[in-house]
Amino acid sequence: MSLMNKAIVATLPLVPKPLVRHFANRYIAGDKLEDAVRVANALNKRGICATIDVLGEEVDDRGEALAAVEDYKSVLAAIDAEKLDSNISLKPTMFGLKIDKGFCRENIGAICAEAKRYDNFVRIDMEDSSCTQDTLDLYYSLREEYGNVGTVIQSYLRRSLADCVGLAAAKANLRLCKGIYVEPREIAFKDKAVINANFGLLLDVLLGGGCYVGIATHDEKMVWEGSRAVHKFGLKRDQYEFQMLLGVDAKLRDVIVAQGHKLRVYVPFGTAWYPYSTRRLKENPHLAGQTFRNIFAKYEFE
Amino acid sequence: MSLMNKAIVATLPLVPKPLVRHFANRYIAGDKLEDAVRVANALNKRGICATIDVLGEEVDDRGEALAAVEDYKSVLAAIDAEKLDSNISLKPTMFGLKIDKGFCRENIGAICAEAKRYDNFVRIDMEDSSCTQDTLDLYYSLREEYGNVGTVIQSYLRRSLADCVGLAAAKANLRLCKGIYVEPREIAFKDKAVINANFGLLLDVLLGGGCYVGIATHDEKMVWEGSRAVHKFGLKRDQYEFQMLLGVDAKLRDVIVAQGHKLRVYVPFGTAWYPYSTRRLKENPHLAGQTFRNIFAKYEFE
């Protein structure tokens, strides 16, 4: 990371929220469900699937968690009504994981039940390492009851190889990504080369074990690892998918689609856009720098 | 390597010995056997095995070589008396390899015989490339006679792949490291990426061939290669080990232990600390620079 980029990340808490929002606009469908529906529809028309996410995390109020259940039920209803090719992604801490695990399981369980009614699918997102074990526990338990559930593995975690051995044996439906949260060295690899090599290894363990994997990356090298693994195991188009976030590298998105792979784009919407956006900023400080320079350049000439 | 660090390495012969000693303290248990016993004991208490090494190399006096045999016999006796989980590591040039190979074999043979009496194990360290073939010959010959012997393979040597094919066929007990001596390009790879890739390849050849391997590294990427290979061959905890040097990256050491791997730390002691310490200095000029800056900063204020 360059000095300039480090400075941007370090001063992130000082960046005025309207500037963060300006930066975030490209990554978020909008404030409302109708924004997510519009974006998912547009993606579908170009042959791309979606996964809709209601922004929100680290909820410490039971009422808020229950409201989130209703929000997701509305999303599922809208996907069905609009005949979208989309599933949903959700974060356990939005449903009270940090308040009470049983309460959280009930809430996500209610969404899984609703999704099952619509023959849809629920991806349980993976958050920081304080949630890893609880999220995997949630996944195993909800999958046993509802079936239509998947979760996420992060290649930067030292534990992931061991987790994948278990998940492969269970033929889990997984998203594999590198991971974006700030973690201590004891828990996560810090060397990019190791994180990348581990991504390739985990892909082999999961795909080789018969898991359906969402290969979630914007890194050309990991997209290549995906193609390599798909070739290695002779997979058909319906045995895996690539995944990307809304607003990131549309050119790479087109390349993946043009090569005949299934691609799913993560479509977040809602008003709780701040934590999601700052993670995107940290992930891509170079782009953040450009955005800020553009904004300041604009101000200069106004 | 930065210019500053290159300067430190280039001027190493000019660095006053007390300064080198100051730097070396962290890498060496102390001057005496009791220091090594104390350190090995402390490691054992934290679930880490040891290998005790008496510092000394490039001996050109027969009396000195014979004294080294007695020193190692004392080490074996101490390991037994103190019930340490430790074996021993020794350098052939300390036992007269450069004087007379037969004499050297007799000396190390005497140690192997003594180790066998204690049901212990002797690791024959690998030195610079002028010793490679002689050390392998020594290994094959001593192993045939005593059994409780292993040696070392360096992934920076161009010959190592061929050596490993033979050693794997013989189901040798080996330490695999990158190698630290300064070697000409004809003999050793100079490109770090090649040395690393070769490390992974040799690991596969050796572990795949049923060898017991001590994966000796402080490089996160090579630790990952170890985990990868252990997974690939489905090895149990007693079929391999990780190895690190005393004084290097205790955090990584803890990570390896926490993941359930067996770990052995190299514990050198003795008064002939200079060559060992300068190799550590060359290996880690950044740290050396810090040490020297700290020392000079201290002098400035005294």
Q: Which of B53, B71, B125, B163 is catalytic?
A: B125
**Phi-psi region for residue B265, left (φ > 0), alpha (ψ -120 to 50) or beta?**
beta
- CB within 8 A of B59, min separation 6: which ones? B65, B68, B93, B94, B95, B96, B98, B99
**Are the beta carbons of B224 and A198 separated by less than 8 Å?**
yes
Q: What is the pTM of this model?
A: 0.88
Residues of B in Cβ contact (< 8 Å) with A161: 227-228, 231
Q: Which residue in the set A185, A190, A201 is minimally distant from B228, CB to CB?
A: A201
**pLDDT at residue A234, as a whole number:** 97
Angstroms from A135 CA to nearest CA on chain B: 20
**pLDDT at residue B301, as a whole number:** 41
Buried-exposed string B199-237: b where 16+ CB fall within 10 A, e elsewhere: bbebbbbbbebebbbbbbbbbbbbbbbbbbbbbeeeeee
* Poorest-pLDDT segment among A277-286, B51-60, B199-208: A277-286
From CA A139, how far away is CA A159, in angstroms rounded? Answer: 17
From CA B86, how far away is CA A27, in angstroms rounded? Answer: 56
CA dihedral (A40, A42, A45, A51) in degrees, to 10, reads: -20
From CA B252, how far away is CA B259, in angstroms rounded? Answer: 11
Residues of A in Cβ contact (< 8 Å) with B251: 185-186
Residue A289 has pLDDT above 90, yes or no: no
* Cβ–Cβ < 8 Å for B114, B148: no
Residue B139 has pLDDT above 90, yes or no: yes
DSSP H helices in chain A: 3-10, 17-24, 33-45, 62-81, 101-117, 132-146, 160-169, 192-208, 220-232, 250-258, 274-283, 285-301
**Predicted confidence (pLDDT) per residue in A87-137, tens digit:** 999 999 999 999 999 999 999 999 999 999 999 999 999 999 999 999 999
Residue A299 has pLDDT above 70, yes or no: no
* Reported ipTM exceeds the 0.90 cut: no
**Predicted confidence (pLDDT) per residue in B57-93, tens digit:** 899 999 999 999 999 999 999 999 999 999 999 999 9
Confidence label for A4 from pLDDT (cuts 50, 70 and 90): low
Task: For residue B283, give the amino acid letter.
Answer: E
Q: Which CATH architecture has domain B29-272?
A: Alpha-Beta Barrel (3.20)
**pLDDT at residue A148, as a whole number:** 96
**Are the beta carbons of B220 and A165 separated by less than 8 Å?**
no
From CA B287, how far away is CA A89, in angstroms rounded? Answer: 46
Q: Which of B188, B170, B89, B87 is nearest to B132 (CA)?
A: B188
**Are the beta carbons of B220 and A186 separated by less than 8 Å?**
no
Mean pLDDT on A209-218: 97
CA distances from B12 to A67, B190, B248 (A): 67, 21, 20
Angstroms from B75 CA to nearest CA on chain A: 34
**Are the beta carbons of A161 and B255 separated by less than 8 Å?**
no
A125 is catalytic: yes
**Predicted confidence (pLDDT) per residue in A62-96, tens digit:** 999 999 999 999 999 999 999 999 999 999 999 99
**pLDDT at residue A301, as a whole number:** 41
Q: Which of A175, A253, A264, A280 is catalytic?
A: A175
**pLDDT at residue A297, as a whole number:** 52
Mean pLDDT on B96-101: 96
Mean model confidence pLDDT for chain B:
91
CA distances from B43 to A15, A285, B51, B241 (A): 48, 42, 11, 15
Residue B292 has pLDDT above 80, yes or no: no
The full length of chain A comes to 302
From CA B175, how far away is CA B258, in angstroms rounded? Answer: 21
From CA A251, how far away is CA A105, in angstroms rounded? Answer: 38
Confidence label for B5 from pLDDT (cuts 50, 70 and 90): low
DSSP output for B70-136 = HHHHHHHHHHHHTT-SEEEEE-GGGGTTTT-HHHHHHHHHHHHHHHHHTT--EEE---STTSHHHHH
Mean pLDDT on A276-293: 70
Residues of A in Cβ contact (< 8 Å) with B258: 186
Domain ranges in chain A are 29-272
From CA A222, how far away is CA A200, in angstroms rounded? Answer: 7
Residue B154 has pLDDT above 90, yes or no: yes
B125 is catalytic: yes
**Predicted confidence (pLDDT) per residue in B201-226, tens digit:** 999 999 999 999 999 999 999 999 99
**Predicted confidence (pLDDT) per residue in A219-243, tens digit:** 999 999 999 999 999 999 999 999 9
Residues of A in Cβ contact (< 8 Å) with B224: 189, 194, 197-198
Angstroms from B73 CA to nearest CA on chain A: 39
**Phi-psi region for residue B53, left (φ > 0), alpha (ψ -120 to 50) or beta?**
beta
**pLDDT at residue B115, as a whole number:** 98
Q: Which residue in the set B220, B228, B259 is minimally distant from A191, CB to CB?
A: B220
**Are the beta carbons of B224 and A194 separated by less than 8 Å?**
yes
The full length of chain B comes to 302
